[in-house]
DNA sequence: CATTTTTTTTAGATTTACCTAAATTTAAAT
DNA sequence: ATTTAAATTTAGGTAAATCTAAAAAAAATG
């Protein structure tokens, strides 16, 4: 079946919200899509008749198996385009989301297949998020935020959950990017700030807010 | 101002039809867009209030200076994407039009600027059609169809006006592509077919229908 | 547990981009 | 110059995606 841009945006947003809560509410989806609850209810009825969601009035909803597969297809396209924009066109990673938000809806299967090959089958997007494969399989790496990492362990930055220009500016200042190796020297209990040692840099202190948005895995 | 996908498709189609007839008719545009004349009239009223066309009831219409500039922007995006699809992703040129038809509507200025640079500022698309520059300036090369070329003149294929898979199959068979050097040996008056000599190939005869769709310039 | 408060749904409108069928205008043909 | 035919526009309607305001249901509160 074929889906409208609007339907695809709803499906993808439900998918993302489900990563946090198993079942999604009307208000949270309206908020995510910057639309009104009434519009969400309308669209949900449509997605229900198209058999993409499990939905019970007043009870919230979630994607079913079909819906999930479609969502992963959209996420795949989005992340492949983000990779292209950063690694081929030279965008900074805080600028690509809005553009990929449009490109993800271009519907040619062949296009994505060839784009994937051209990019050399990347596994993660510029923000460190995994790219689902053709079958919708996604490899979720176990990762912890810097705020929750024990001291003296060597870790590698695997993703950032805040992708704003402000966050990018901050990370650049600390010489941190996806793949950067570092370790935690100390957690300050006063304000939750964290002293870290980035390889080939002097130790520095980052705020709890920053630490919580940097995800790492052990190497 | 910002335009919908539909508005952009109308604007671009008017632009293309204007290349042949200075003023465009409702029926021809409906036919080009595979829509109905009544829909064209509706959209034309809108484009008129948006000050993009000169339109007199029952008298046909044409883009004004603003409309023309916008059309050239869309054509630019379309052709840059076609170039990308063929030269970076490895598509054959008979498969790219439909995909570029979607990609052309992605609206980021920065995207097109960076894409252009990534592609090394190409001057023509895979079908030999010129790519307008950022200011909407387009270099129209004087070109004649093979059906109208005098014998024994050395010419270079500069574009093809039929971009179907069937045409591509035929051109591949004759070893003809954009940039191929050839000359006309003879015009047959019986059916308008043309004997040509492609460099490093044996002479061959092509039908008038094929000849009319191959455009060349003197080298 | 009865009553607020919050969340969600329904009802009814609006905008965009279409459509068909009928009316109107222009062009072509007798 | 009529008449006929073709092109174009108008009238009226539909489907998708949105919205606001009101009604209904669920959750929170004292
Ligand atoms: Mn999107
Ligand atoms: Mn991303
Ligand atoms: Mn298009
Ligand atoms: Mn082209």
Domain ranges of chain A: 5-63, 144-218
E strand map for B123-206: 144-145, 154-160, 181-187, 194-198, 204-206
CB atoms A102 and B106 under 8 Å: yes
- Does the pLDDT of residue B219 top 90, yes or no? no
A56: tokens are: 């019970």
Q: In this complex, which of B99, B110, B118 lies closest to A108 when CB atoms are compared?
A: B99
A66-115 pLDDT, tens per residue? 999 999 999 999 999 999 999 999 999 899 999 999 999 999 999 999 99
User: What pairs with residue A196 in β-bridges?
Assistant: A184, A204
pLDDT tens profile B6-24: 999 999 999 999 999 999 9
CA B195 / ligand 1 centre spacing (Å)? 52
Region A146-171 average pLDDT: 92
Distance B63 CA to ligand 2 centre (A): 40
d(CA B93, CA B24): 28
CATH T-level topology, domain A144-218: SH3 type barrels. (2.30.30)
| Cα B163 to middle of ligand 4, angstroms | 8
Confidence at residue B213, expressed as pLDDT on a 0 to 100 scale: 94
Q: Is B108 in Cβ contact with A89 (below 8 Å)?
A: no
Residue A85 token pair: 């924009």
* pLDDT tens digit sequence for A198-215: 999 999 999 999 999 999
pTM exceeds 0.85: yes
Helix crossing, A37-49 with A5-18: angle to 10°? 100
Query: How far B113 CA sits from the closest chain A CA (Å)?
Result: 9
pLDDT digits (tens, 9 = 90+) for A11-29: 999 999 999 999 999 999 9
pLDDT band at B193 (very low <50, low <70, confident <90, very high): very high
Q: Of A112-116, B68-72, B185-189, give the lowest mean pLDDT range.
A: B185-189
In sequence order, what are the beta bridge partners of B195? B186, B205
- Cβ-defined contact of A99 to B89 (cutoff 8 Å): no
Sign of the alpha-carbon dihedral angle for B20, B25, B27, B33? positive
Q: Tell me, which fold does domain A5-63 have in CATH?
A: Arc Repressor Mutant, subunit A (1.10.10)
| pLDDT tens track for A42-55 | 999 999 999 999 99
In this structure, what are the phi and psi dihedrals at residue B193, rounded to the nearest 5 degrees?
A: -70, 160
Q: What integer is the mean pLDDT of B161-190?
A: 92
Mean pLDDT score, A154-183: 92
Report the share of chain A in percent with pLDDT over 90. Answer: 92
B43 nearest nucleotide via C1' and CA: C17
Pick from A88, A98, A107: which is nearest to B118 by CB? A88
φ/ψ of residue A122, rounded to 5: -65, 150
pLDDT of residue B141: 84
């Amino acid at each position: 079946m074929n889906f409208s841009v609007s339907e695809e945006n709803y499906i993808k947003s439900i998918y993302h919200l489900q990563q946090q809560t198993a079942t999604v509410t009307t208000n949270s989806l309206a908020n995510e899509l910057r639309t009104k609850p009434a519009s969400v209810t309308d669209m949900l009825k449509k997605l229900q008749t198209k058999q993409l969601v499990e939905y019970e009035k007043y009870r919230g909803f979630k994607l079913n198996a079909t819906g999930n597969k479609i969502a992963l297809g959209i996420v795949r396209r989005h992340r492949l385009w983000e990779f292209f924009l950063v690694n081929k066109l030279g965008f900074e990673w805080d600028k690509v989301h809005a553009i990929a938000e449009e490109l993800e809806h271009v519907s040619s299967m062949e296009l994505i297949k060839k784009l994937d090959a051209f990019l050399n089958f990347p596994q993660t997007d510029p923000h460190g998020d995994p790219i689902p494969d053709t079958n919708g399989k996604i490899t979720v790496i176990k990762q912890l935020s810097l705020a929750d990492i024990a001291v003296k362990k060597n870790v590698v930055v695997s993703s950032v959950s805040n992708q704003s220009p402000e966050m990018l500016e901050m990370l650049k200042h600390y010489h941190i990017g996806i793949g950067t190796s570092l370790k935690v020297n100390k957690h300050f209990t006063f304000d939750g700030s964290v002293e870290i040692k980035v390889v080939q840099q002097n130790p520095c202190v980052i705020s709890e807010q920053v630490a919580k948005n940097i995800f790492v895995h052990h190497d």
